Structure 1
């Protein structure tokens, strides 16, 4: 017992001496002071600033930045993080110092379901990522392949509208978001796999349901990512669920890939489809011995998963938000409809090629993406120490660019909380400010080298579908069991729900009334 007391005393003396000497050396400049980090709220032991987060992190971040400024340093457990909340700071991180922020942080759940981050979205910046980016821009999601798949998108929009017309005949209430999700899913599964997902029980439907489950699990907060001492323990029970959902997805994708390979092996050149689906293009590269990068089967499965996860729900959610805003602003609905009638007429359905001649509709889409970005946070990781606006950003810090907050910055947007598509119209009546990442006050698809490769596809599907819905139907919201008239008091609530794509808290339920039928 005496020995223990002696050792404890010696330990205390050693600690006190160390702290005292460190203080002296720091005062003398022998030891450098801490780097000049951005402003930071008070942190708690062990958990750091995790106590500041709510179910909607982008809103929590907005409150923090309102108090501490556009660049804030946070600690989530043991992980250093930087919060970026203004266009100027976003420009510095995503353009001026882009090479320091080209990676995405690894998250345990996402890392597992994407086969160890072997997908394109989460892959570290390097030869494989550059190869896949080039492949996306030239073959998978480039202008040529999008043009070849135009008939698929046009046909699916027509089938969607016909389905809505059947429901209109029955005066049936429609879950708009659910129907739009099915439309987006059908477009993506046909482009990627040559099959529709709407047939319940079919493989396309099963894949979509599995990807939904994977996306939900991937977006879950994992304590082990923030608190290193919990990394070994599966306290939240994610392990078995992740293993189960990925193995089911893997089995279906492996079966579909083998079907494609078998069909390719049995077909001669004359029997090949006129337009290849995305899986066929990826399998071509997988089989090419001379390819610059040899794709694995896991790479292909992870890429298709990205297509389903990022390319379906995001478009559907954006259209649902846009229609919600127009229902709450009937004068804007009438203005959009008048523009469509003037340009298209009342005898044919709006097409993708018409969108360039509909500037007010384009402005509605931009204003929707400003207020309701389906990617509210751009997440990157610093690969080296960096200086941003005079502040030190340490290596391996997670950087959150709050797109949601930037879209509400009063320094850039007059009446930022109001839905005003006219803010994107110039005096000549043209829609201004593009969505391709050149304007840092509107980062709908990110910016720089790691911007969203599916932006062109989304900007074909979203405005065309929205225009067709405005052209063909009036959308009535049921109030107290009756058909309610749209008004500016907001029949439709605009509450957000937690989720990677910022969905509505409550589904948009409407009764479609046929205004024009282009199929007669």
Structure 2
């Protein structure tokens, strides 16, 4: 189906915009708002804001406006935080205030996502979600996932050995397989595309529903009362379709799990353990909480994992020096007789540094929006209630005071004397404060196993064209909520015949 945003303002909308801006100025009175571009009459800062979730445009504005930048559009206010210190001060030290999400009328109300893990306001519902998720992702419970992660990683190596040209699809299958087994107890067999396609669609539709600047109804909420048939109301038809498809994403794997429970085929997993919790099941909303918590883990876990794994292939192809250093360390510590295990993590500091630098070089999530329900004041600036206060992870990751020569892919920046005091980017790329991703411990073992195992047995090389010239992949990232690199080519070849044989043995053991 087609998703074409409305791009023109009606005469009525323009008039209301002017009134809204006048009211806004009156409300803030003499209190000083953060600096930012001068707004245009009636439409505010619409022309100066990007449509999408890219962080680089706002980081570049720091030279003109400073690290805290204010924008306003009719009915909405945005404050971008481009220094980690400011985000920590607000989202962590004032977490009691800054744990809400800013209201996005299209996503929250029309598409109906306001009760999901991603969009819920901070309150009992979100706390219930996080308590449930924490039962399988906290640091004590996370090791229970190591066996599944290891088996699925070995299957990934086997797929890459057989058909390396399909590496992007294999990486997606791997992320979905690990998450589906942990959340729903479902083993995704080779050839089954249902849940891979579903995860991809979920990410795309969530981004469409929530994209900043895309939907006029986010600024002019009265537009939701327009009849569906009039020109300019396409967004309402789009919202209904998005709601239907996103709910199907939420319901379909849960139906499968409940059916398996009725037939006695259910494997131990998050959804089953929660549904069988007799103490909690007395709550009439319990099953709904389980359903949305599971969907949040499924969507968040797969989309971000696919994004990270794609970056691994991209950066190891483009930066062979880092690949070779990691392989030297792996050969010395692990040897050629076995594959890495999670327990090896502490003995592989350079591999860990590579993982840190992948996270930093292009953060998977660039912009992280929070909101306060009341006016606040920070560094002499008023932070209006309900405004979108957005942490710019891209700006943090490319802050020269934190990461000198930030444009360079340089894992050594975290090691030895150079690494003393350097911020681990994982401190902010998973979010900050009370909305920080609850699955960090599970994500860390997943990413370590993937990076260490891939580099143990494979070389990533630039592909060549018909004339034998190397093709250097472009750093062409989209502006989605979870940023993905554009399709690219590379060659993935076993490091040796012994490495290929090791993969085959590992795949046979994983399938037992």
TM-score by length of 1: 0.81
Q: Superposed, which structure 2 residues align to 1:197-346 within 5 Å?
A: 197=188, 203-205=194-196, 207-220=198-211, 221-233=214-226, 235=232, 237-248=234-245, 250=247, 254=251, 256-261=253-258, 263-264=260-261, 273=267, 276-285=268-277, 288=279, 294-346=284-336
For residues 468 and 189 of structure 2, the distance between their equivalents in structure 1, rounded to whole angstroms, comes to: 29
Contact 2:102 2:370 survives alignment (8 Å): yes
Secondary structure of the structure 2 residue equivalent to 1:312:
helix
For residues 422 and 57 of structure 2, the distance between their equivalents in structure 1, rounded to whole angstroms, comes to: 31
Q: CA deviation at 1:361?
A: 1.0
Q: CA deviation at 1:343?
A: 0.8
**Residue-by-residue CA offset, 1:216-260 (whole Å, 9 max, x unaligned):** 433442221123453434736343344335435545754654554
Gaps (5+ residues) in structure 1?
Answer: 1-18, 20-25, 438-442
Q: CA deviation at 1:205?
A: 4.1
Contact 2:363 2:394 survives alignment (8 Å): yes
Contact 1:326 1:332 survives alignment (8 Å): yes
Higher relative CO (Cα under 8 Å, sequence separation at least 6) belongs to 2
The residue that corresponds to 1:494 in the other structure is: 475
- Correspondence for 1:82 among 59, 79, 83: 79
Contact 1:103 1:125 survives alignment (8 Å): yes
The residue that corresponds to 1:64 in the other structure is: 61
Distance change in 2, residues 1:219/1:395 (3 Å)? closer
The residue that corresponds to 1:477 in the other structure is: 462
The residue that corresponds to 2:449 in the other structure is: 464
Contact 1:164 1:512 survives alignment (8 Å): yes
Contact 1:189 1:196 survives alignment (8 Å): yes
**Residue-by-residue CA offset, 1:144-197 (whole Å, 9 max, x unaligned):** 4432232221111111111111125xxxx34x3332121101111111122244
For residues 253 and 367 of structure 2, the distance between their equivalents in structure 1, rounded to whole angstroms, comes to: 34
Q: CA deviation at 1:302?
A: 2.5
Q: Superposed, which structure 2 residues align to 1:6-45 within 5 Å?
A: 33-45=29-41
- Correspondence for 2:154 among 158, 162, 183: 158
Q: How many residues align?
A: 469
Pairwise CA RMSD of aligned residues? 3.0
Gaps (5+ residues) in structure 2?
Answer: 1-21, 506-512
Pick the structure with greater CA Rg.
Answer: 1
Q: Superposed, which structure 2 residues align to 1:429-448 within 5 Å?
A: 433-434=423-424, 437=427, 443-448=428-433
**Residue-by-residue CA offset, 1:38-92 (whole Å, 9 max, x unaligned):** 1121101232112112355422212222210011121032211111111221122
TM-score by length of 2: 0.83
